[in-house]
């Protein structure tokens, strides 16, 4: 059945050359665990991407029930966890995945650094990777407030105070994140939701596309 569907699509769009260009390429021996045990460290990037996909899919599910206002935010999370089928599992995946993806990205960054994979001709890809890291940290920070409980509220206040202490641009960053209000309130929650669901994911998808295109063009870096 799948072969027939593929043949039907391929007959009209000629997707086989595109698929072969993406999938059919040699993988260096040093990233094959069958030849080198150290090859496992080259899996950190793929694992990070896998967790990112889980975060996107689970986040899409959560937005179907989440209400981004200070009256219903916590209630919608409570409803999701206690009344929606498998809601607690999906939210748990998203919650723990948010921490795990940062850990895996940190390990991936260490591998790239200590194997010298940021050097010529991959300097630009290193910059893109660092930007992806900052976007992930932004997603973690903005997503922390959304359950609208006391822990999230006070943690966000501390985060906004840290942002405000940045020289020159600090007050502007705080206003951008929290709005004009001096307190963490409805405007803050709305802005964090918009940044978490729309702006940062758009930046993440663009950076990931650039990251993968450069990896495809330049190949996987060699060992140290």
Asked if pLDDT for residue 95 goes beyond 90, the answer is yes
Residue 181 is predicted with a pLDDT of 67
Residues 6+ apart with CB under 8 A from 53: none
Q: Give the pLDDT confidence score for residue 86 in this predicted structure.
A: 93
Query: What is the structure's pLDDT at 183?
Result: 81
Structure tokens at 154: 């006070």
Which domains does the chain carry?
A: 33-113+123-218 (1.20.810.10)
| CA distance readout (Å), 161 to 173, 178, 189 | 10, 11, 16
Q: What is the pLDDT of residue 41?
A: 85
Give the residue from 72, 90, 69 showing the smallest Cα distance to 81: 90
More confident call, 202 vs 23: 202
């Amino acid at each position: 059945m799948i072969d027939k569907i593929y043949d039907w699509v391929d007959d009209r769009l000629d997707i086989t050359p595109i698929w072969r260009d993406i999938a059919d390429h040699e993988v260096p021996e040093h990233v094959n665990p069958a030849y080198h045990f150290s090859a496992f460290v080259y899996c950190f990037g793929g694992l990070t991407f896998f967790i990112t996909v889980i975060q996107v899919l689970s986040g899409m599910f959560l937005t179907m029930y989440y209400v981004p206002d200070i009256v219903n935010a916590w209630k919608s999370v409570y409803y999701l966890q206690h009344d929606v089928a498998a809601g607690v599992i999906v939210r748990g995946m998203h919650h723990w995945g948010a921490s795990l993806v940062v850990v895996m990205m940190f390990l991936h960054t260490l591998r790239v650094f200590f194997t010298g994979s940021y050097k010529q001709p991959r300097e630009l890809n290193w910059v893109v990777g660092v930007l992806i890291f900052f976007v992930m940290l932004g997603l973690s920070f903005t997503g922390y407030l959304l359950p609208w409980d006391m822990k999230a509220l006070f943690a966000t206040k501390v985060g906004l105070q840290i942002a405000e202490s940045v020289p020159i641009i600090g007050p502007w960053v705080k206003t951008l994140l929290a709005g004009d209000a001096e307190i963490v309130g409805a405007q803050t929650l709305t802005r964090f939701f918009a940044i978490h669901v729309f702006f940062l994911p758009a930046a993440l998808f663009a950076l990931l596309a650039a990251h993968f295109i450069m990896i495809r063009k330049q190949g996987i870096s060699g060992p140290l």
